Structure formats: C-alpha cells, structure tokens
C-alpha cells in the first residue's frame, strides 16, 4: 500500500539522522523537520553539537517538547561520538545504546537509514498501536512488541514494515478514529470498528 514509504525525517548525515530521531520522541516528524534546518545550519555535525551552548541548543529545539532533556541527550551523545567513536555515529546496536537518549527505536532507525543495517523492528506509537490492533502482539512494552514482530517477519522486511505501518497509522489507522471502512487491511484485522 505504501511502496514509496521512507523515513520522514530530513537529514544529510548520520549524526543529523541521530539528532532528528532523538528529537522525534513525543513529537511529530513534521515538527522535527521544521526545527532541524535552523539547528543543522548552526550545528551541522557532532563536534559543533558537542560544544554547543546548551541554552542556544535548547532554544533551537524548544518546540519539539522536552527540549531540556533532548538538548542534554543530544549534546551528551555527540560528546561521546567525538570522544569515543572518532566523530562517527556507531554502527552497532550495542554501541548506539551507550549514547544518551538512544534506545532501540532510535538505534534501529539510525542503523537502517544511516547504514542500511537491519537489526530490528522500529516500534513507535503507530507500530505499537497497529500491531496490537492487527493481533500481531498482545504486549505493551516496545521491546516485547519488537520481539514478536521479529519472529513474524523476515529480517529484510523489518524496517519496511515499520515505515509502512507508520504511514498507515498517519493516513488510515489513526489513534482516535481509525478509518476501518476504507482500510485495505480490514479483512485481516480483528479490531475492525464500524463507525
């Protein structure tokens, strides 16, 4: 249904992808994409973000919500990237999870879209909600949902599944009022709602 689906975040480098993904927590990709042009014009790479004035960084990302914690995590992650990883975003799940503000969701996005490494299934709010509605998982914890989906899907499809489900969640299977009457998955879905 979504053959052209790809990561919705705008970025030019893996560091920028990492930062944009950290900013996307509790925030829409659309909002992040409004913030990042000015942010990356001022602080385009890990060294500049690591050395940034925290207050200036906070002001640039304020509209994404939780801006103090996000600024702290972005700066901490970039400081580690500079000091421990030679200025390059790590290419393994284990090393990415060492960075402040990085959990499996962010690490999966960075590995898949920054390096073409499919390590897991990215579980965001759309993937969680729709996987539950489709009966693919009964869990609420993103790690357990990811494990269920990894068992059900072939590894090459893990990231494309996530991206497609995210597009479907935005367009059809919305949180408050799913459009089951136009959903092409309705015949497979145990949670169909007749509005």
What amino acid positions are annotated as catalytic residues? 105, 124
Q: CA quadruple 161, 166, 171, 173: dihedral positive or negative?
A: positive
Q: What are the C-alpha distances in Å from 176 to residues 119, 164, 186, 188, 195?
A: 31, 19, 17, 20, 12
Residue 39 contacts residue 63 (beta carbons within 8 Å): no
Residue 9 contacts residue 33 (beta carbons within 8 Å): yes
Give the integer Cα–Cα distance in Å for 130 and 4. Answer: 20
């Amino acid at each position: 249904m979504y053959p052209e689906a790809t990561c919705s975040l705008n970025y030019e480098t893996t560091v920028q992808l990492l930062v944009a993904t950290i900013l996307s927590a509790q925030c829409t990709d659309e909002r992040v994409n409004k913030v990042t042009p000015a942010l990356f014009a001022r602080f385009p790479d890990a060294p500049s973000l690591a050395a940034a004035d925290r207050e200036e960084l906070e002001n640039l990302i304020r509209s994404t919500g939780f801006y103090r914690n996000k600024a702290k995590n972005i700066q901490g992650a970039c400081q580690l990237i500079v000091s421990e990883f030679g200025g390059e975003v790590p290419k393994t799940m284990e090393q990415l999870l060492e960075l402040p503000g990085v959990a499996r969701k962010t690490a999966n996005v960075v590995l898949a879209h920054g390096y073409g490494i499919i390590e897991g299934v990215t579980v965001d709010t759309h993937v969680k909600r729709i996987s539950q509605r489709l009966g693919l998982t009964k869990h609420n914890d993103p790690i357990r949902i990811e494990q269920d989906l990894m068992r059900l899907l072939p590894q090459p499809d893990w990231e494309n599944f996530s991206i497609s489900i995210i597009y479907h969640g935005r367009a059809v299977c919305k949180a408050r009022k799913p459009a089951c009457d136009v959903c092409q998955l309705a015949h497979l879905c145990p949670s169909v709602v007749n509005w």
